[in-house]
Amino acid sequence: MPRKSILVPLLLIAAVAGYLGARAIAPGQAAAAPNLAMTPAAVAASLPEDTSDAVREKTQRYMEYESSLRLDAEQQKIKEAALTPIPAPCCSDNSALTCCCPCNLSRTIWGLTAHLIVEQGVTDPAKIQSEVESWIEEVKGPAGFSGDTCYTGGCGRAFHDNGCGGMRPSQLVL
């Protein structure tokens, strides 16, 4: 019976040590200070601001541009020149111009591009590329985009989680 009475405190110590980030140390080796910075508040603070009001608002606005703004033949050429060199973040074997499908991430890219061309009068493909790449950088998570999201079941994940943000504008995942 004495063994059982020691088991519970040992399990509790192990759980606390795991929470504090303790690790096994060799005899004679000094123990590292526990990582107390990863409290729930610290974890929450370290998360990407994927659902910030700014990202949510831009995503919805860019998707609205994609559905409402139409490019003429000359503007389409500018779009092609701007987006063809950029690999699609979710399927890098395709360009940002085509992606492999019209996912919500692609809709935001196409909408931002249409807005820049139609409403802002931008005709320089390099300027559009820069704006699109900045947008991709803004929405990606800490690990970035793998380039194979579309082929590994990531279509329904949020942008910051290496995802496409959903496949329909009505089912946006942020």
Span 135-151, pLDDT tens digits: 999 999 889 999 999 99
Overall average pLDDT of the 11-26 stretch: 38
Q: Are residues 31 and 67 in the same domain?
A: no
Q: Are residues 96 and 161 in the same domain?
A: yes
Model confidence at 2: pLDDT above 90: no
Residue with structure tokens 């004679």? 28
121: left (phi over 0), alpha (psi -120 to 50) or beta: left
Smallest CA-to-CA distance from 153 within 86, 88, 91, 63 is with 91
> For position 31, what pLDDT does the model report?
41
Smallest CA-to-CA distance from 47 within 139, 141, 174 is with 141
Model confidence at 11, pLDDT cuts 50, 70, 90, reads: very low
The pTM assigned to this predicted structure is 0.71
The residue length of the chain stands at 174
Q: Are residues 20 and 58 in the same domain?
A: no
- What pLDDT digit, counting tens, does each position of 25-67 carry? 344 444 444 343 434 344 334 444 445 788 999 999 999 999 9
> For position 19, what pLDDT does the model report?
35
Q: Are residues 39 and 99 in the same domain?
A: no
- What pLDDT digit, counting tens, does each position of 113-126 carry? 999 999 999 999 99
Q: Are residues 91 and 70 in the same domain?
A: yes
Instruction: Evaluate whether 165 touches 55 at the Cβ level (below 8 Å).
Output: no
- What pLDDT digit, counting tens, does each position of 63-104 carry? 999 999 999 999 999 999 999 999 999 999 999 999 999 999
Q: Are residues 64 and 40 in the same domain?
A: no
Q: Where are the alpha helices (DSSP H) in the chain?
A: 2-20, 40-46, 53-68, 73-83, 104-114, 125-139
In the chain, how many domains are there?
A: 2
> For position 111, what pLDDT does the model report?
98
User: Beta-carbon neighbour count of residue 151 at 10 Å?
Assistant: 13
Alpha carbons 109 and 114: distance in angstroms, whole number: 9
Q: Are residues 62 and 34 in the same domain?
A: no
User: Which one-letter amino acid corresponds to residue 91?
Assistant: C
Q: Which residues contact 131 (CB under 8 A, 6 or more apart)?
A: 112, 116, 122
Q: Are residues 128 and 147 in the same domain?
A: yes
Q: Which domain holds residue 152?
A: 53-171
